[in-house]
Amino acid sequence: MSPSVHALDRARVSRSQVQSPDRAEVEQAVRTIIRWTGEDPDRDGLRDTPARVTRSFEEFFSGYGQDPVEILKKTFEEIEGYDEMIVLRGIRFESHCEHHMAPIIGQAWVAYIPNGRVVGISKLARVVDVYARRLQIQEKMTAQIANTINDVLEPQGVGVIIKATHHCMTTRGVHKPDTDLVTSRMLGCFRDNALTRQEFLGMAT
């Protein structure tokens, strides 16, 4: 396992927890934003909005409080020598872009070829969710998922493909609603073997 990648990730999570403002500060910040829009945060329809927004942010960004390495640690070795590709397709996720805090809605395809042990398939989906529930750019998120699976499971190879719609360009800015972004990260035999890579790409179309 590469300790530097995950040590830095855990350090960022730890710092965010230590420096985290309390709930009252967050709610006051939301009240300020409401006033900035020209609205009255004390009118009936908005009075509880700061608390609601704060609770929703706790859910949106809950990935900072979870360690993806721990999620992948429990593995199974009784696999009868299975060494073919394992693919979990169409893992839906919701994230937020770190530039505008606008939603990113997409799906991930995660594949690996085991090297003597496998992990429960739900754990792959949970790793996607952990990284999605942070402020993100899609390119970084794709690499984080692949690198973590590669470091913890030490498989023959890992492939990750993400397709997502970014509201920072579909509902604002250039307003291009029918576009999505596709990113991929191939490691080990997925990078080195064109046939393995092509097999995975064919499953993700």
Binding residues: 97, 100, 168
CA 43/CA 62 separation, integer angstroms: 30
Of the chain, the end-to-end C-alpha distance in Å amounts to 31
Beta strands in the chain (DSSP E): 75-76, 86-97, 103-113, 118-119, 135-136, 157-166, 181-188
Sign of the CA dihedral 171, 175, 177, 181? negative
C-alpha span between 106 and 39 (Å, rounded): 32
Which residues are known binding-site members for Zn(2+)?
A: 97, 100, 168
